[in-house]
Homo-oligomer: A and B are copies of this chain.
Amino acid sequence: MPKLVDHQERREAIAHALWRVVDQQGWPGATLREVAREAGVSLGQLQHYFASRAAMLTFAMEYAAERTADRVARGLAGLDQPPHPLEVLRIVLAEMLPLHPDARASSRMNAAYVLEALHDPELRKRAGLGLRDGRATVERLIRQAIAQGLIAPERDPDIETDLILALTGFTPLLELEVIEPEAALAAIDQYLDRLFAEGP
């Protein structure tokens, strides 16, 4: 056979091409042929690495989630140890919003994925689990911060968690350039500052 090839590597390269296509042409534009062209491979080769379009999309999504987690982890590494929960939340939120090219690609992938998941039970389960996981992580953070006295004890951890997650609602505003990235960051800072403020 020809030189043995690292499948994972190839798949990731194709996933990157897929991101680029989705970023530039949208989810429906991500046809097998278009992704192959963007990746600089033939349709046959692409099909050698992904048995179906669905398999390709699923892989690309999981890989995007990994990369986002990596970006967050890298951001957290730059903080004091242990980091202040406010800083943690700030970084998590900032990485989930389309504020730089990498995050934008992930964000668009995610949006398309969620939209698709609404009508596909399998994807729905998968996407639901992912989001629930994320929510659980944030909730843990909030509860810890309350226990540490960093957040006023009157705050309901469930509601505060949901409100934090809702801040990803900046995404469409940013994408359509209704608000500037600085405005989104300022709003997040303002919100977190109030959340972590001392009670009266």
Contacts and interface: CB of A to CB of B under 8 A. Distances in A.
Given A158-B183, A163-B191, A186-B159, A132 B169 contact: no
A128 interface: yes
Interface string A154-176: 00101100110111111111011
Interface stretch (A56-64, A78-86, A115-123): A115-123
A114 B187 contact: no
Contacts of A132: 178
Contacts of A165: 169-170, 173
Nearest to A156: B190
Interface of A: 24-29, 108, 111-112, 114-119, 124, 127-128, 131-132, 135, 156, 158-159, 162-163, 165-173, 175-179, 183-184, 186-187, 190-191, 200
